[in-house]
Structure 1
Amino acid sequence: MALHEQSHQALSSRRRTAILVMGDAVALLIFAAIGRASHGEEAGLTALAQVAETAAPFMIGWFAVAPLFGAYRAHVTGAPLRMLASTALTWLIAWPVGLGLRALIRQTSIPLSFALVTFITVLTMMALWRGAFALIAAKRS
């Protein structure tokens, strides 16, 4: 493989990963904003710092686990079924990490209803966004 082609692939890989990281962060911020709004808390652009604070434990959990479970690997991100499987596995592991961090930070327990709503909502949001990304990436290949 020519040096130029290798550097183009490396740039493309970095760009793909950057887009995925930004999209994952946005999805988790939207989840936090929806949750805050559903509890009557500020959730608009003027409350971005509070939304980010709410999302932080789940972002830490996701971004700590995602690279370990291949959520950003090219062979995963360009194949919709692999992407969905990787996303589900990553969230299954990141979810209790985020819940635990949230409980530690807030010094509270974790209601089962909150845990289940968080699991289902974030999994749905991540699967939709990341699945769409994988479909687009697969068509471009």
Structure 2
Amino acid sequence: MSSPRTLPASALLAAGIDAALVLVFAAIGRASHGEDLLGVLTTWWPFLGGLTIGWLIMRAWHAPQRIVYTGLGVWLWTVAGGLLLRVVSGQGIQPSFIVVTAIVLGLFLVGWRGIAVLVRRIRARRQTATPVR
């Protein structure tokens, strides 16, 4: 059992996956514009901030792989917080960027949780279908 100040390994793993996928989002976007690592980090940090806000508000560490509450909440806060931080920091946002951001981060942040649920269900079915010897 974890203490109140220690996150369970599953929450740390989920937070790491989320942060990595937000980095992949930034890298893909910047690569499509032919920009360097500094450009990737410039795009990443506002959405990493939004992700952090989402994790805190949704208390995502309680059920990090849950799709409906955690996944959707973290996704929405990541998009909204990231876009707000971009505006506040003087980075531009275009309507097309908002749409692409929402779609890609939705696929990434909710999608991996959906895959995790499917994998758990398949494993559970295999365990119950396997006869005990």
Q: Which one has a larger percent helix, Structure 1 or Structure 2?
A: 1
**Number of corresponding residues:** 120
Is 2:46 the partner of 1:62? no
Task: After TM superposition, give the deviation of residue 21 of structure 1 in Å.
Answer: 1.0
Q: Is the 8 A contact 2:83 2:93 kept in 1?
A: yes
Structure 1 Cα separation of the partners of residues 21 and 87 of structure 2: 21
Task: After TM superposition, give the deviation of residue 33 of structure 1 in Å.
Answer: 0.3
* Higher RCO (CA < 8 A, seq sep 6+): 1
Decide which of 4, 18, 34 is 1:40's aligned counterpart. 34
Decide which of 2, 20, 36 is 1:10's aligned counterpart. 2
Write the mapping of 1:122-137 to structure 2, written as runs, cut at 5 A: 122-136=105-119
Q: Is the 8 A contact 2:51 2:74 kept in 1?
A: yes
Structure 1 Cα separation of the partners of residues 103 and 82 of structure 2: 14
- TM-score, normalised on structure 2? 0.75
Counterpart of 2:78, as a letter, is: A
- TM-score, normalised on structure 1? 0.72
Q: Is the 8 A contact 2:53 2:81 kept in 1?
A: no
Q: CA RMSD in A?
A: 2.5
Structure 2 Cα separation of the partners of residues 130 and 93 of structure 1: 16
Task: After TM superposition, give the deviation of residue 72 of structure 1 in Å.
Answer: 2.5
Q: Which residue is 2:86 aligned to? A: 102
Structure 2 Cα separation of the partners of residues 53 and 133 of structure 1: 30
Write the mapping of 1:19-98 to structure 2, written as runs, cut at 5 A: 19-42=13-36, 47=37, 50-74=39-63, 77=65, 83-85=66-68, 86-98=70-82
Structure 1 Cα separation of the partners of residues 58 and 120 of structure 2: 19
What residue ranges of structure 2 are gaps of 5+ in the alignment?
125-133
Decide which of 84, 106, 113 is 2:96's aligned counterpart. 113
